[in-house]
Amino acid sequence: MDLRIANVVHAGIETIAMDYRGDLLDVCAVERRLGLDPPVGRIAGEPNSFRHRVFSLGLAGLDEVAEGLGDGRPPAEALLNPKLCLFLPPTLADRAIVEFDVLADDRAPRLRWGVARGLQGHDTPLRIPADEPQPQLTVQVAAVLGEDLRNVTPDQAAPSIAGYTILCQWSFPSRERLSPGWGRNRVGQLGPWLVTRRDPFDPTQAAIAISVNGRPVLAAPGRRWRWSFPELVAFASDGCDLLAGDIVASGPLACASSDGGTALRDGFVVSARVEGLGVVSGMIVGCPERSWFLRERGGSVR
């Protein structure tokens, strides 16, 4: 079965949570109630964190938790209030992002490398520079690796994918024009769920929608998909180490932009929905402009 798991901080403790019929459950509390032996308990001193449960233990025991719940109601002590949880990206902070362009007609996919340190989770502030006239949002599907790889085939790559999630990236064109790379993917979100699947995610069946304050601003159906995720992972592993927690992203599947004056304002909530993966939301927090060195030299970011 598919699992929808999240990396959250609740009461100051990082823990692994699970979506169950719309409820957010503390996996460790469910295991205690069901009398299950949590695999993490066999590692002395290790907390029941997302990092250890997903990447060190390879999702061990999570299927048993879902099966133990069955069709019954979840135990009350396991229920978490999402508003009291801090959603973290469902990966490791020091890992790489390998971002592809899956719609290109090239003989080989185009890719670029980045780092995941700047990524935030669901329901977090989106710090958009106050002087950016046209911030741009791209919505992508991302595969998160569950094991280390090098020089693998697509068949070998497929079982290494721990799950799929949503990657939202904000770019700031005015800065990008001044210095290529400066304004690209400056704000990002990953989440809210890591969705495990028996088969690779098929984006041709996944509709994407973007809304602002609950009002739809873009709806995109599934689009042509040239490369499978196992093929992208295998391509990226050619002569290079990929590590558990690395993110292999599709590249833009839907895009939206703003003039900075009417569509996006301080306090607005921007949400991106990908069918089968959930919704990632964040509130815009206009931050002070960082172009002080340009002002001192009489320049502008516009």
**pLDDT-derived band at 45, boundaries 50, 70, 90:** very low
User: Between the CA of residue 94 and those of 82, 91, 118, 181, what are the distances in Å?
Assistant: 25, 9, 10, 19
The answer to whether residues 167 and 142 touch, using CB atoms and an 8 Å cutoff, is: yes
Question: Domains of the chain by range and CATH?
Answer: 4-87 (no CATH), 89-294 (3.90.850.10)
Instruction: Give the per-residue pLDDT at 244.
Output: 95
More confident residue, 263 or 223: 223
Instruction: Give the per-residue pLDDT at 86.
Output: 96
| pLDDT tens digits, 236-285 | 999 999 999 999 998 888 888 876 555 677 888 999 999 999 999 999 98
Task: Count Cβ atoms within 10 A of the Cβ of residue 33 and give its class: 0-12 exposed, 13-18 middle, 19 or more buried.
Answer: middle
pTM for this predicted structure: 0.91
